[in-house]
Copies of this chain bind each other. A is one copy, B any other.
Amino acid sequence: MTIEQQTDAAWVMARCDELATHSSRPDGIERVYLSHEHRHVNALAAEWMAEADLDTWQDAAANQCGRRGEPHLPALLLGSHLDTVPGAGRYDGILGVLVAIVVARRLRHTELPFALEVVAFGDEEGTRFGTTLLGSRALAGTWQPEWAELTDASGLTLREAMSDFGLDVDRVGEAARAPGSLVGYLEAHIEQGPLLEEADRALGVVTSIAGARRLFVSITGEARHCATPYDRRRDALLGASAAITAIERIARAARSFATVGRIRVEPDAVNVVPGFAEFSLDLRDATDEARDATLDAIRSELELICATRGLTLELRETHAAPAVHCAPALRDAVGRGIRSTADGAPMELFSVAGHDAMAVAALTDVAMLFVRCEDGISHHRDEAVTEADVAVAIDALEMAVLAVADAHRG
């Protein structure tokens, strides 16, 4: 490890610690879109971007941007996000922004055939307004005007929150980049899974980002007094419990990722057999085809369970996104970047979690570099990366940018 590597990685680790102190709550990290904390971390990011010889601005969607290069040149965009879930760790999104800034700083004297830009997206998690990727969708030009009326937990609309932040939601379209103005997008991010750790690798090349389907499964039976014999019960929670265990069995066998994260019953009384149960289902796989096949299998099994128990089943889809496949040329560049470190045969893996790159893919080619995180833990204060891994991530992303430049010149 050279002195410069040590210095850069240590700098990134220290900045991650510093950003973690900008939280809306004292007992953990929470930083949502258009909050005071968002303003503070944008200002810090702008300062660090300026130190990397980037011209900085905050765009119309409150994304913090930095650029170096002639105005007429298309740009290679590096970045990730600075917002967090409640009770977050200090690396999800943040690490990618800081690694991008460090790479821009390292390359400040290197001539490139494109402009270099860094972006710190303001909303990826969607925690505040319930819709994810607001920052990256604004940049990609896929922002929907009706989002202006989305409300947060306090009832404030996105329109009002933007106004309080000093922005005008009706001008958010100005954040959209023109098609052709970008060469591509590279994002470094913690894996949020344990595969790199299990394979003893610091880094990995992302092949695709799984598209999630999200559904609410409703099961209706009959609310009955707890004195009702079993043969007379149509217990919606028993149906839901059988369904949830079946979902695990089916998804596990298919190697899909199914998560039932929410559940509620009615009337929710200790001495009444539940007449209604509703639970969420988040389903992901490497390809849309594999994911949809798993959902078909789950649906058939749930229909059987409900028919057997005299229950009514309803599936209501609330979200569906297609998988995003990383562009071969950019994937190769990331692979070359990793090979320039100690790893001669980079591991390829798909991302189960969603990322800004999914939104940016609507505008330009994307690729991602995954960084090993401890025990695969994310969205948790125990989220952890090592300084040594961050050092090689910086090297790899720098080399990936140079590989893109080579290909661009060629």
| Interface of A toward B, CB cutoff 8 Å | 87, 192-195, 212, 214, 223-230, 232, 235, 237-238, 240-242, 244-245, 248, 251-252, 257, 259-265, 267-274, 280, 282, 284, 351-353, 375-380
22 contacts between A and B (CB under 8 A): A192-B225, A193-B228, A193-B229, A194-B228, A225-B353, A226-B282, A227-B353, A229-B376, A230-B251, A232-B375, A237-B244, A238-B244, A238-B248, A240-B241, A241-B241, A245-B245, A259-B273, A260-B274, A261-B267, A261-B272, A263-B265, A271-B282
Q: How far is the CB of A268 from chain B (nearest CB, A)?
A: 5
* Protomer copies: 2
Residue of B nearest to A214 (CB): B270
Q: Are the C-beta atoms of A194 and B270 separated by less than 8 Å?
A: no
Asked if A230 contacts B252 (CB within 8 A), the reply is yes
- Bound CA–CA A238/B241 (angstroms): 8
In the complex, the answer to whether A225 meets B379 with C-beta atoms within 8 Å is yes
Q: Which residues of B contact A87 (CB under 8 A)?
A: 267
Inside 8 A of A282's CB, which chain B residues have their CB?
A: 226, 270-271
In addition to A225-B353, A228-B376, 19 A-B residue pairs with Cβ atoms within 8 Å of each other are: A193-B225, A193-B229, A223-B380, A225-B379, A225-B380, A226-B284, A227-B257, A235-B248, A238-B245, A259-B271, A259-B272, A260-B274, A261-B268, A261-B270, A261-B273, A261-B274, A262-B268, A263-B263, A263-B264
Q: Which residues of B contact A260 (CB under 8 A)?
A: 237-238, 274
Closest B residue to A268 using CB positions: B262
Measured between beta carbons, the chain B residues less than 8 angstroms from A265 are: 261-263
Q: Which residues of chain B come closer than 8 Å to A214, judged between CB atoms?
A: 270
Residue in B closest to A194 when the chains form the complex, CB atoms: B232
Neighbouring B residues of A193 by C-beta, 8 Å: 225, 227-229
What are the residues of chain B within 8 A of A271 when measuring CB–CB? Answer: 212, 259, 261, 282
CB distance from A324 to the nearest CB of B (A): 15
Q: Which of B251, B263, B352 contacts A237, CB < 8 Å?
A: B263
Distance between A294 CB and nearest chain B CB, rounded to angstroms: 13
> Is the CB–CB distance between B262 and A352 below 8 Å?
no
| Chain B residues, CB < 8 A from A194 | 228-229, 232
What is the bound-complex CA distance between A10 and B376, given in angstroms?
A: 71
> In the complex the two chains form, what is the Cα distance from A197 to B70 in whole Å?
87
Are A378 and B263 neighbours in the complex by a CB distance under 8 Å? no
How many Å lie between the Cα of A284 and that of B271 in the bound state? 11
Q: Which residue of B lies closest to A252 (CB)?
A: B230
Are B257 and A262 in contact (CB-based, < 8 A)? no
Which residues of chain B are within 8 angstroms of A244 by Cβ–Cβ distance?
A: 237-238, 241
Nearest-CB residue, chain B, relative to A251 = B230
Chain B residues with Cβ below 8 Å from A257 are 226-227, 229
Q: Report the Cα distance A85→B328, complex, angstroms.
A: 64
Per the bound structure, the CA–CA distance linking A228 and B376 in Å amounts to 7
